[in-house]
Structure 1
Amino acid sequence: MPKTIYRPEHAVLLSLLKKYRKAAGLTQVQCSQALERPQSFMSDVESGTRRLDIVQLRDLCKVLGVGLQELIAEFEKILSKG
Structure 2
Amino acid sequence: MGASTHSEEYQEFLKRLRSARLEAGLTQAEVAKRLGQPQPYVSKCESGERRVDVVELAQFATIYNKPIDYFVWAILDSNQ
1:48 and 2:48 correspond: yes
Shift of 1:2: 4.8
CA distance in 2, matches of 1:45, 1:72: 15
- Paired position in structure 2 for 1:63: 63
Contact map agreement 2:10 2:75 (CA 8 A) in 1? no
Q: Which segments of 5 or more consecutive residues in structure 2 lack a partner in the other structure? A: none
CA distance in 2, matches of 1:3, 1:75: 13
Identity %: 28
Give the paired residue count. 80
- Paired position in structure 1 for 2:22: 22
CA distance in 1, matches of 2:48, 2:58: 17
Contact map agreement 2:13 2:74 (CA 8 A) in 1? no
Structure-1-length-normalised TM-score: 0.85
Moved more, 66-75 or 29-38: 66-75
Shift of 1:52: 1.0
- Paired position in structure 1 for 2:10: 10
Q: Which segments of 5 or more consecutive residues in structure 1 lack a partner in the other structure? A: none
| Aligned-partner SS, 2:5 | helix
Structure-2-length-normalised TM-score: 0.86
Greater RCO structure (CA 8 Å; 6+ sep): 2
CA distance in 1, matches of 2:34, 2:4: 26
